[in-house]
Structure 1
Amino acid sequence: MPEALCKLRNLKELDLSFNPLNGDALPHFQVCSLASLEQLHLSGIYPSFPLPLLRALCGLKDMRKLDLSHNNLTDDSMPHCLFDDLSYLESLDLSGNNLKNSHHILSALCRLRNLKRLDLSDNFLDDGSIPTCLFENHSVLESLDISHNNIRGSPGFFSGICKLRNLQVLNLQDNLIQGGLDPCVGGMTFLVSLDLSFNHFEGTISSSIFSNLTLLETLRLSNNRFDGLFLFASFANLSNLEAIDLTNNEFEVDTETPSWVPSFQLVSLDLRNTRLNQNYGHVIPTFISKQHKLKTLSLSYNALQGSVPSWLLYNSTLLMLSLRSNRLYGEIPASSQFQASNLLILDVSDNCLGSTLPTNVLESFPNLLYLNLSNNALEGTLPSFDNMLELEVLDLSHNFLLGKLPPALRQNHTSLAHLVLSNNNFHGEDMPRFSNMSNLLYLHLQNDGFIGVLPAAMFNLPVLKVMDISGNNLSGNVPDYFPLFPHLAILILARNQFHGIIPVSLCQMQKLHILDMSANLFSGVLPSCLGNITAWMKESQVLLLAFMWLSPSYTNYRVKVPLTTKGNALSYEGIPLSQMTILDLSMNHFTSEIPSQLGQLVALRSLNLSHNVLSGHMPESFMNLKKLESLDLSSNHLIGKIPPQMTQLDSLSTLNLAFNHLSGRIPFENKFVTFEASSYRGNKELCGPPLENDCVFSSPPQQHEEEEEEEEDEKQGIGESDFFFFSCIAVAYVLGFWSVIAPLLLSRNWRTTYYAKVDSCIELCKEKLHLS
């Protein structure tokens, strides 16, 4: 810290937050006088927080605002004198520390009688951590934040809070508070913001509890267990209300009875999953038509019925509208006054919308960033989308759309990041060619009925991460341009009619996490260079960004990818998808041996080579696949023994080696003890648990195997070698020759008899020839 700082005698505010300070950087701070300092910000200096600096604060008696948040401070690191002299302190932020057992610090807070704002959030606090004097000695406290702790709301907790009559902001979000909502909350008449979300509150909420909170602007009760009937009319007289969030409770919200007229103008309303108007025809709340400041509205997951009203779509102030997972039907209405909507986000997915997508309707939403109409019954051809130049996310999947993709969705669109058109009826159309889509991240065209070959060229897709064109009728060879997409992490070509060999160029895709080429007509050998793909050799995550705007509670569009692993077909998203590494080449015609280089893929989690014509032995290098969770080599022609080193794969939970020609004893230890007989069926020469057929050997298995190998070597060396064969011929020739010649040489009588016999044979042959 510069020494000159100490000369600023009249300094009122000092902010040193998020700097790597240490004791050596503050040699003069302890002795210099900054007596006029009123505001000091020391947030986020952990782990190098200089404790001498805290001791220097003890003399700053004029301090009004102190921020020590996110420093992992405890009782041991805080000097006891710290709060003794800060009698004028009005704002104290201790959030993001570790004050669970810091009784001295928390008790010292009781002496700060001028405190108006106190933030103790994210501190691992429980019911025993908070002293009762905190509620009794702070009559001027206006803001209390103890969110993100472990408070259960023991008896007396709320009665203590209700003593803080001047409290304007109360945040108890994300605790473990149980039981009903204490009626004393209704007496905190100065409340402006009340957040009780993400707790375990239960029971019915009295309609009178909010009637006196006339200053209330923000109310959040989401993600609790409130039940019964909640009448929206209880808010009728709260003229200052701007934001209401009742999401994910067990009560039924009734906005229609009794008859009422709102005195408020909401800015934000979230009623997701609240059984909205369940006993009143499942209608969209009619009072919304009178809300002329509304910017964000979510009525999702409520089984609402009827058509989408035009007054809702064309509310001039509305920026975000989510109606997903209801039972709305009909068509998207056109504007009655031909006015353009200001909507940025529109989600009407998972409904029963029918008819076509008229061009004049989409032209009414020129500002849309996000449009999700998936899982409906939309039909007809796609409109041009020419005027929707700001569109970032378009999801029209699971409809009955047909025809060609308009140029605006495949060429020169610089904003589009998510294009999801899967599960439609583009039957008979050629695979579209995409180019100059500079922000396209995710392309999903699976199960659309596209035919023909992949375009000869697709270029300038510099940030493409996910491409799924599975389940079409595409054929031909896989082109070589995929390595031109440097960030491609997920490539799914499954369930098509591609043929030929795997292009070696795929091995250049070093960020590839998931490659699924299953259920095609590929042939040839497996490229050994697949063992060099970096993302499979070194554990990493692929960053799959979700589309979020304003708050995750409104719109959170996650990338979903259907994958088959561990024998199950599931859709993966979020963190599980980002950590997934899969190589699936099953159901093709690959031949020859499995490359041992695949054993280098130590970060691979799922490997499926089943239903091919692979031969040879299982590579012993597979023992290195420590992260492997699923291995399927079934329905091939593999021979030999299961490498016993495979039992070292502690992460392996699914194994299928069925229908091969494997032999020998099954390794039965560690994770292999958990695999059932079905993992090995169809291998007649395998034995041992979990199969019923025992291994029968005349000696211990290992010794027996060694003896067999020695016998085979001896047979090969003596009885089956070429040297042995020709040696036998030579010996037979020598013995045969000398067994005849030797007697003739040794006996004169034998020679006379032998030659007389030969002469008689010659004469006999001549007579027969003469007669013939």
Structure 2
Amino acid sequence: MSHLEELYLGGATLPNDFLSNKIGSMTSLQVLSLTYSRLNGTLPSHQGLCELKTLQEIDLSHIGLGGQLPWCLANLTSLKFLDISNNQFTGNIALSPLANLMSLEYLILSYNNFLVPMSFKSYYNLSKLIVLESVDNIFFEGEDILGSAPSFQLFQIHLSSSKDGRNIPMSLPNFFYYQNQLKIVELSGFDFRGTFPRWLLKNNIGLQALTLTKNSFSEPFQLPSSPMLELVALDISNNNFYGAIPYKIGNSFPKLQFLSMSRNNFEGMIPSSLGDMTFLRVLDLSNNQLSSKIPIHLAMGCSFLEGLKLSSNNLTGPILPPQNNLPNLIWLHLDKNKFTEIPPNLSNSSALRLLNLSHNHLEGEFPIEFCQFDGLTQLDLSNNNFTGTISSCFNVEHLEKIQLSNNKLNGPFPEVFHRLMNIRMIDLSNNHFNGRIPNWIDSISWLSFLILKNNHFDSNIPDQICHLSKLTLIDLSSNKLSGSIPRCLNNITFELEDIRGMYSSQIVAAKPMLNDDQKISCHHNYWAFHDRDTLGLRRELFLVQLEFTTKGMTLPYTGKPLLFFSAIDLSNNKLAGHIPPEIGNLSKIKALNLSHNNLTGGIPTTFSKLQNIESLDLSHNNLNGNIPSQLTELYSLGTFNVSYNNLSGRIPQATNQFGTFDSSIYIENPFLCGEPLPNNCTDSPLSIPSANNNASVVSNFIDVGTFYMSFVGSYTVVLLAIAGILYINPHWRRAWFHVIEVFITSSYYFVVDNMWRIKVGFLRRYG
């Protein structure tokens, strides 16, 4: 072991004294990698690791270490590569031993709790330093005197502050003025509030990737004085740039492969010169104020384009020019614009996998052009004015998500969906679909989200829906569904783990893939530029958004929140019968809405097992009995509503979450009593226990249905008894008929006498 030169124990479970004792005998060790090992505690302060003076590379990332860096690390005078990212280290790095590691070339400090001076003044003597990264630490201004030059020439630098999500007012560090060999620069999350540093581009003509996001630059964007012939990635998103995008931008960055100018205040037209960027693969101009049409030259010149995002602008006309040459286009985000046409030759983009055209002014029959795509995985046409039915030629074999909400589509549940083998989401809400939910719906076995609200679906909810074991969200609200709630819904586990995979296998078009001359490996593939997402175009591009009503509010759910949300909404239908007690076994769901139906019976006590429930709405039904006191055990319950029912008895004690509810959730239940209601339970009739269909509900009053049935039955028995007595006893029968005859004769003469008097009085008055 003493002659071992390289040791890789990534992911291993190590003894707590490994760095302080076990490793001390490896006196010839040059490379040590423990990344993702299970090792907590702090670094040794005087032995073990600190004695290995031959070490040249150390990777201690993702292993859970904390505390301050011990001064004995200064003994590692041969160290060239140090990665201590993704731990819980603390302390001011200006006062740490790192400033004494004179052989250091690569320093990675990201994702700790270090205090980092922006000036890096104490590191000016590290003449061999070429890579510096500090992401998500705590930055402060620090002493920075202009004129004091560092001895290093950096090759790559990545500084990003995102603590608490706040931009931190800073000045651009002075050492940047002395750098002229930079290849990769990423500065993010600093409130520089100055002008765009064009001098940085001028001083580093070999720059290959520049990311300056969330830095509050506020000015018109100005191009460099001379073309940047090596630059392949430029990201200036999330700033306050305004004015027009320079019309000669294509001439200044002719080799760009990735360009993001999103989330600024750019206005005017999209420059045609973008079409001169013939190597362009990803273009993101979303969330600006751009207008007019997409330039023809852009659609013709950028033939290598794989990703185009122009969302949230004011663009008009066809979604792509009729003349387009985009055969490699994989994803296309044109949502939230004013597009009016889908060109017939959209199929030129045969590689298209993701298409988002939502929130536009598109109209007419469901586009027949979509029948020509055979690899589409995500389609969002929501919030347009499409009409008619879904074409039977629509190729859905590879679809994973389809969103058609807020249109005017009609007809039965699309038969073509029977071929959906990989679908995870179907959203047909707010349309005019009708008929039954088909029994073959269980063939869509991978379905996680089923959103059919606000249509005209009728008949029963098919039991086959219970076979969709991967469902996590069901919204069938505001339809005409009848019958009972399927008792088999408890067969669905609503396990959220099953849907996390739908976001892990997304199309990755955001990672730069450079040719061999452009790749920057530096030292490890871990630091290769081609393995970095320098534009911030992460998988959020591919996450979907859907609306769901919970806690009385309709909210959009996007991306990660969907991974932790499961719910059932069957409200605003014609469902009848008792609430199945089996629903209480759905312990994973966050929201349950059964309101505005014709449900009867009691509230199942099994609902006390809905331990993750946050919103429970049973209002506007015909429920009776009392509210189970066991519901006070629902500690996550934030919204509860049982108003407009026939509930009775004392409401649950105002403990836990029930202590936060006011009287409005109980209104129009006149037989409920107890605080905070005005009805005092001591003034109410005694409780009358009654069984209620396995729901274990105790009622304080006579059930209304039972009362009516008893009254009719009693009345019928009395009439039959009288008829039987008169039939058996002739004397009583003759007496009864005599009484009836006298009553009829008296009534006749009473009417005749009074009618004559009324007639005489009328003639005297008006005749």
Give the TM-score range, shorter chain: 0.7 to 0.9
Among 33, 38, 54, the residue aligned to 1:41: 33
User: Does the 8 A contact of 2:413 with 2:435 survive in 1?
Assistant: no
Aligned to 1:271: 261
Aligned pairs for 1:55-74 (under 5 A) are 57-58=49-50, 60-74=52-66
> What is the rounded CA distance, in whole Å, between the counterparts of 1:81 and 1:115 in structure 2?
16
Aligned to 1:423: 406
> What is the rounded CA distance, in whole Å, between the counterparts of 1:597 and 1:654 in structure 2?
21
Among 360, 364, 380, the residue aligned to 2:348: 364
Per the TM alignment, residue 235 of structure 1 is displaced from its structure 2 partner at its CA by 5.8
CA, structure 1 residues 433+335, in 2 after alignment: closer, same or farther (shift >3 Å)?
Answer: closer
> What is the rounded CA distance, in whole Å, between the counterparts of 1:161 and 1:629 in structure 2?
59
Q: Specify the code of the residue in structure 2 equivalent to 1:431.
A: P
CA, structure 1 residues 63+615, in 2 after alignment: closer, same or farther (shift >3 Å)?
Answer: closer
Aligned pairs for 1:557-572 (under 5 A) are 557-572=542-557
Aligned pairs for 1:359-758 (under 5 A) are 361-381=345-365, 382-385=367-370, 388-402=373-387, 405-407=390-392, 409-410=394-395, 413=397, 415-427=398-410, 431-447=414-430, 471-476=431-436, 478-535=437-494, 542-543=499-500, 545-546=502-503, 547-549=506-508, 550=510, 551=533, 553=537, 556-667=541-652, 669-670=654-655, 671-691=657-677, 693-695=678-680, 697=682
Per the TM alignment, residue 707 of structure 1 is displaced from its structure 2 partner at its CA by 13
Per the TM alignment, residue 548 of structure 1 is displaced from its structure 2 partner at its CA by 4.8
Question: Is 1:174 paired with 2:161?
Answer: yes
Aligned to 1:110: 99
> What is the rounded CA distance, in whole Å, between the counterparts of 2:335 and 2:491 in structure 1?
42
Q: Specify the code of the residue in structure 2 equivalent to 1:599.
A: G
The residue matched to 2:123 in structure 1 has which SS? helix
Among 317, 321, 328, the residue aligned to 2:315: 328
* CA deviation vs aligned residue, 1:153-180 (integer Å, no higher than 9, x gap): 2232697996354122221113456224
Per the TM alignment, residue 571 of structure 1 is displaced from its structure 2 partner at its CA by 2.8
Aligned to 2:214: 223
- Structure 1 stretches lacking a partner, 5+ long: 448-470, 714-719, 721-772
Question: Is 1:95 paired with 2:95?
Answer: no
Q: Specify the code of the residue in structure 2 equivalent to 1:147.
A: V
Per the TM alignment, residue 544 of structure 1 is displaced from its structure 2 partner at its CA by 6.2
* CA deviation vs aligned residue, 1:707-733 (integer Å, no higher than 9, x gap): 999x999xxxxxx9xxxxxxxxxxxxx
Aligned to 1:755: none
> What is the rounded CA distance, in whole Å, between the counterparts of 2:417 and 2:371 in structure 1?
16
* Length-normalised TM-score, structure 1: 0.75
CA, structure 1 residues 605+206, in 2 after alignment: closer, same or farther (shift >3 Å)?
Answer: closer
Aligned to 2:126: 138
* Length-normalised TM-score, structure 2: 0.76
Q: Specify the code of the residue in structure 2 equivalent to 1:18.
A: G
CA, structure 1 residues 321+609, in 2 after alignment: closer, same or farther (shift >3 Å)?
Answer: closer
CA, structure 1 residues 52+23, in 2 after alignment: closer, same or farther (shift >3 Å)?
Answer: farther
Per the TM alignment, residue 115 of structure 1 is displaced from its structure 2 partner at its CA by 1.3
> What is the rounded CA distance, in whole Å, between the counterparts of 2:338 and 2:282 in structure 1?
23
Per the TM alignment, residue 102 of structure 1 is displaced from its structure 2 partner at its CA by 8.4
> What is the rounded CA distance, in whole Å, between the counterparts of 1:423 and 1:707 in structure 2?
49
> What is the rounded CA distance, in whole Å, between the counterparts of 1:492 and 1:219 in structure 2?
42
> What is the rounded CA distance, in whole Å, between the counterparts of 1:205 and 1:520 in structure 2?
55
- Structure 2 stretches lacking a partner, 5+ long: 511-532, 691-697, 703-709, 711-767
> What is the rounded CA distance, in whole Å, between the counterparts of 1:135 and 1:155 in structure 2?
13
| Structure (1 or 2) with the larger CA radius of gyration | 1
Per the TM alignment, residue 145 of structure 1 is displaced from its structure 2 partner at its CA by 0.8
> What is the rounded CA distance, in whole Å, between the counterparts of 1:696 and 1:439 in structure 2?
56
* CA deviation vs aligned residue, 1:429-486 (integer Å, no higher than 9, x gap): 7733234444333333334xxxxxxxxxxxxxxxxxxxxxxx433224x443334444
CA, structure 1 residues 367+679, in 2 after alignment: closer, same or farther (shift >3 Å)?
Answer: same
Aligned to 1:462: none
User: Does the 8 A contact of 2:119 with 2:141 survive in 1?
Assistant: no
The residue matched to 1:231 in structure 2 has which SS? coil
CA, structure 1 residues 607+416, in 2 after alignment: closer, same or farther (shift >3 Å)?
Answer: closer
Aligned pairs for 1:301-312 (under 5 A) are 301-312=287-298
Per the TM alignment, residue 344 of structure 1 is displaced from its structure 2 partner at its CA by 2.2
The residue matched to 2:355 in structure 1 has which SS? strand
Percent of residue pairs identical = 32
Per the TM alignment, residue 119 of structure 1 is displaced from its structure 2 partner at its CA by 1.0
Q: Specify the code of the residue in structure 2 equivalent to 1:100.
A: T
> What is the rounded CA distance, in whole Å, between the counterparts of 2:362 and 2:493 in structure 1?
42
Q: Specify the code of the residue in structure 2 equivalent to 1:188.
A: Q
Which range is displaced more, 155-164 or 430-439?
155-164
Q: Specify the code of the residue in structure 2 equivalent to 1:641.
A: N
CA, structure 1 residues 386+505, in 2 after alignment: closer, same or farther (shift >3 Å)?
Answer: closer
> What is the rounded CA distance, in whole Å, between the counterparts of 1:242 and 1:407 in structure 2?
44
Aligned to 1:189: 180
User: Does the 8 A contact of 1:211 with 1:237 survive in 2?
Assistant: no
Per the TM alignment, residue 567 of structure 1 is displaced from its structure 2 partner at its CA by 2.0
Q: Specify the code of the residue in structure 2 equivalent to 1:672.
A: F
Aligned to 1:454: none
The residue matched to 2:90 in structure 1 has which SS? coil
The residue matched to 1:683 in structure 2 has which SS? coil
CA, structure 1 residues 682+213, in 2 after alignment: closer, same or farther (shift >3 Å)?
Answer: same
> What is the rounded CA distance, in whole Å, between the counterparts of 2:34 and 2:400 in structure 1?
39
The residue matched to 1:534 in structure 2 has which SS? coil
User: Does the 8 A contact of 1:200 with 1:224 survive in 2?
Assistant: yes
User: Does the 8 A contact of 1:233 with 1:255 survive in 2?
Assistant: no
Per the TM alignment, residue 639 of structure 1 is displaced from its structure 2 partner at its CA by 2.4
> What is the rounded CA distance, in whole Å, between the counterparts of 2:382 and 2:564 in structure 1?
25
The residue matched to 1:202 in structure 2 has which SS? coil
Aligned to 1:770: none
> What is the rounded CA distance, in whole Å, between the counterparts of 2:71 and 2:572 in structure 1?
71
Per the TM alignment, residue 52 of structure 1 is displaced from its structure 2 partner at its CA by 9.7
> What is the rounded CA distance, in whole Å, between the counterparts of 1:592 and 1:255 in structure 2?
63
Q: Specify the code of the residue in structure 2 equivalent to 1:514.
A: L
Per the TM alignment, residue 599 of structure 1 is displaced from its structure 2 partner at its CA by 2.8
> What is the rounded CA distance, in whole Å, between the counterparts of 1:621 and 1:392 in structure 2?
40
Among 239, 246, 250, the residue aligned to 1:256: 246
Per the TM alignment, residue 118 of structure 1 is displaced from its structure 2 partner at its CA by 1.0
State the aligned residue count.
661
* CA deviation vs aligned residue, 1:296-355 (integer Å, no higher than 9, x gap): 11111112111111221231232222111111112245565x755332222222222223
User: Does the 8 A contact of 1:23 with 1:50 survive in 2?
Assistant: no
The residue matched to 2:439 in structure 1 has which SS? coil
RCO higher in structure (CA 8 A, sep ≥6): 2
Per the TM alignment, residue 141 of structure 1 is displaced from its structure 2 partner at its CA by 1.4
The residue matched to 1:488 in structure 2 has which SS? coil
The residue matched to 2:499 in structure 1 has which SS? coil
Per the TM alignment, residue 126 of structure 1 is displaced from its structure 2 partner at its CA by 1.7
CA, structure 1 residues 202+162, in 2 after alignment: closer, same or farther (shift >3 Å)?
Answer: farther
> What is the rounded CA distance, in whole Å, between the counterparts of 2:131 and 2:598 in structure 1?
70
Q: Specify the code of the residue in structure 2 equivalent to 1:126.
A: L
Q: Specify the code of the residue in structure 2 equivalent to 1:682.
A: E
Q: In angstroms, what is the RMSD of aligned CA positions?
A: 4.0
> What is the rounded CA distance, in whole Å, between the counterparts of 1:121 and 1:72 in structure 2?
13
Aligned to 1:19: 12
The residue matched to 1:583 in structure 2 has which SS? strand
> What is the rounded CA distance, in whole Å, between the counterparts of 1:521 and 1:679 in structure 2?
25
